[in-house]
Amino acid sequence: MDIPIGVANSVSFNQDYDPIDTIQFMKQSNFDMVQIYINQSLARNPAKLKTLSQKIHEQAIDPLYFHAEGEFNQRFLSNDYRDSLFKYLDNFQQSRVVYHFDEKEELDTMLRIVDDFISANRVLYLENFFQEGGVQNAEKNLRKYNAVFSLVNNFDTRIFPVIDIPRLFHENLGFKEKEALNWCYQVLNFFGNRRIPVLLHLIDARHPRQDRNDFCPVGEGYIPYHEIFSFVNKNQVAIEGIILEYLDKINALKSRENLQQLLKQS
pLDDT digits (tens, 9 = 90+) for 84-136: 998 899 888 888 999 999 999 998 888 888 877 776 567 899 999 999 999 99
pLDDT tops 70 at residue 35? yes
Phi then psi for residue 154, to 5 deg, are: -65, -45
Summarize the confidence of residues 19-35 as an average pLDDT: 97
Percent of the chain past pLDDT 70, that is, above it, reads: 97
Instruction: Give the least confident one: 34-38, 121-125, 141-145, 208-212.
Output: 121-125
In this predicted model, what pLDDT tens digit does every residue of 71-86 receive, in sequence order? 999 888 778 898 899 8
Structural domain that includes position 147 = 5-265
| Residue 241 identity | G
Task: Tell if the pTM clears 0.85, that is, is over it.
Answer: yes
Supply the CATH number for residue 150's domain.
3.20.20.150
Looking at residue 76, its pLDDT comes to: 80
Looking at residue 189, its pLDDT comes to: 97
Which class for 146: exposed (0-12), middle (13-18), buried (19 or more C-beta within 10 A)? Answer: middle
Count of domains for the chain? 1
Summarize the confidence of residues 161-184 as an average pLDDT: 98
Structure confidence at residue 2 as a pLDDT band (50, 70, 90): confident
Residue of 122, 64, 72, 67 whose CA lies nearest to 241: 64
Is there a contact between 204 and 170 (Cβ–Cβ < 8 Å)?
Answer: no
Instruction: Give the least confident one: 7-21, 58-72, 202-216, 232-246.
Output: 58-72
Structure-model confidence comparison of residues 74 and 204, the more confident one:
204
Summarize the confidence of residues 163-170 as an average pLDDT: 98
